[in-house]
Structure 1
Amino acid sequence: MACIIIEPVAGNMGCIPPKNGFLQQLRALCDAHNILLVFDEVMTGFRLAQGGAQELYNVKADIVCFGKVIGGGLPVGAFAARNEIMNHLAPVYQAGTLSGNPLAMAAGLEMLQQLNNDLEVYNRLKDKTDYLHKGIKGVLEANGIVHQINQVGSMISLHFTTEEVVDFKSAGAGDNPQFKKFFHGMLAEGVYLAPSAYETCFLCNALSYRDLGATIAACEAIL
């Protein structure tokens, strides 16, 4: 086996955090069998921490893929790897039609500089997401609505199901008609959520506690 490619925190079936020790065991397994460990940090990179999920879970991959946040809102993709891996790449001609696009590079560089100058933003984002999590959970529980909320840092997802959501199968067991009803109800109240139960919501620093309070109030209004 050449490599194992994995999202350290899954984001396309809702937010699915890794089980305790899973990434560490995976790292050890790859080391034992000389297998490359590749992290898809397109969602988690620079979002969960300055060092992404690798920093959050203290597990280093051999190769890491980035996107989204690294572009500051513009389309940018990148990958990084250990020196001995990148040294195999350097002698080979690498090019793309829009590689190094000046506008995207400027936006991405500014984003990374902003993060470097304000690392406390990650704590603020987590605090805001915790606040939203607690508020939505309280409203749903008060109305007797069965649900699960998954959260890692500023990533959060809501599932209408009785069972813990830990993988694609359990995510698929959720009540999608209920989620659809919830989505359209929130939209009518002026809150635009990700339209699928399989999507993860990402909080940004521009959201104020007033905005989050209004979101919680909207949830209460539609139930």
Structure 2
Amino acid sequence: IPPASGFLEGLRQLCDETGILLIFDEVMSGFRLAAGGVQERLGIHADIVCFGKVIGGGLPVGAFAARNEIMDYLAPVGPVYQAGTLSGNPLAMAAGLAMLIELSENPEIFNSIDKKTEYLHEGMEKVLKANGVKHTINRVGSMISVHFSEDPVTDFASSAEAARSGKFNTFFHRMLENGIYIAPSAFETWFISDALSYEDLDKTIAVVEKITKDFD
């Protein structure tokens, strides 16, 4: 669900006015929407940022980052204790470093997956409209989701309302039966990989067209 225009800017302003730290959860968007995540893509900077297994090349790890004056509150420099069972796991760190080096040396990957996601978006939009299927497609960069409602999906409530019909479950299983494995929940985003070819995307669009001809 993309943030409404002005929402994040409003949070930044409110936090600045009240002296509150702004925290961004970039577990899904970090190093995916851009090298700098949502902050870079939308031009809004948080005080603390949380990351998930993306920084471990897909292996189990989590991290948070902040400005020096904030991080200096953590032990051993500062008084705040922080530790974790998998902190600094050598395998995850090696995989994460390799991934970050790959992205650093090949920054065109972000533009490539953006274009592929846009291609998929436009293709699905075309066939769903042609088949008369009520739908809304949300997309930010290489993150995309399909909702079977003609009303905008802008928050959890509208997302739940769009899923109420159960059509996404039918869509998921029909896609799976035709060789396309998407996220099984209507509340999950799809992540487009640069490993997918345009031929793969064409096949996906063709399957969407096929399985939604009698959808409504």
TM-score range, shorter chain: over 0.9
Other-structure match for 1:132 = 120
Residue 149 (structure 1) aligned with residue 134 (structure 2): no
Other-structure match for 2:6 = 21
Specify which structure has the bigger relative contact order, considering alpha-carbon pairs within 8 angstroms and separated by 6 or more residues.
1
Pick one of 187, 194, 218 that aligns with 2:207: 218
The offset of 1:96, in angstroms, is 2.5
Worse-matched range after superposition: 155-164 or 92-101:
92-101
Residue 119 (structure 1) aligned with residue 104 (structure 2): no
Q: Which runs of 5+ in 1 are unaligned?
A: 1-15
The offset of 1:70, in angstroms, is 1.3
One-letter code aligned to 1:156: I
Superposition TM-score, scaled by structure 1 size = 0.90
Worse-matched range after superposition: 177-186 or 93-102:
93-102
C-alpha distance in structure 2 between counterparts of 1:97 and 1:170, whole Å? 38
RMSD: 1.1
The offset of 1:181, in angstroms, is 0.8
Residue 50 (structure 1) aligned with residue 38 (structure 2): no
The offset of 1:68, in angstroms, is 2.8
C-alpha distance in structure 2 between counterparts of 1:97 and 1:68, whole Å? 14
The offset of 1:97, in angstroms, is 2.6
C-alpha distance in structure 1 between counterparts of 2:39 and 2:83, whole Å? 28
The offset of 1:100, in angstroms, is 1.0
C-alpha distance in structure 1 between counterparts of 2:115 and 2:20, whole Å? 37
Secondary structure in 2 matching 1:139? helix
Superposition TM-score, scaled by structure 2 size = 0.93
C-alpha distance in structure 2 between counterparts of 1:70 and 1:127, whole Å? 23
Other-structure match for 1:91 = 78
Other-structure match for 1:158 = 146
Identity of aligned residues (%): 62
The offset of 1:137, in angstroms, is 0.8
Residue 169 (structure 1) aligned with residue 154 (structure 2): no
One-letter code aligned to 1:17: P
Q: Deviations over 1:155-182 (max 9, x none)?
A: 0000001210000111011144211111
From the superposition, tell whether residues 128 and 64 of structure 1 become closer, same or farther in structure 2 (CA, over 3 Å).
same
Q: Which runs of 5+ in 2 are unaligned?
A: none
Q: Deviations over 1:154-211 (max 9, x none)?
A: 0000000121000011101114421111111100100001111001000111111011
C-alpha distance in structure 2 between counterparts of 1:154 and 1:70, whole Å? 17
Secondary structure in 2 matching 1:144? coil
Secondary structure in 2 matching 1:88? coil
C-alpha distance in structure 2 between counterparts of 1:81 and 1:98, whole Å? 20
Aligned residue pairs, count: 208
Q: Is the 8 A contact 2:61 2:86 kept in 1?
A: no
C-alpha distance in structure 2 between counterparts of 1:68 and 1:134, whole Å? 30
Secondary structure in 1 matching 2:73? helix
Other-structure match for 2:183 = 194
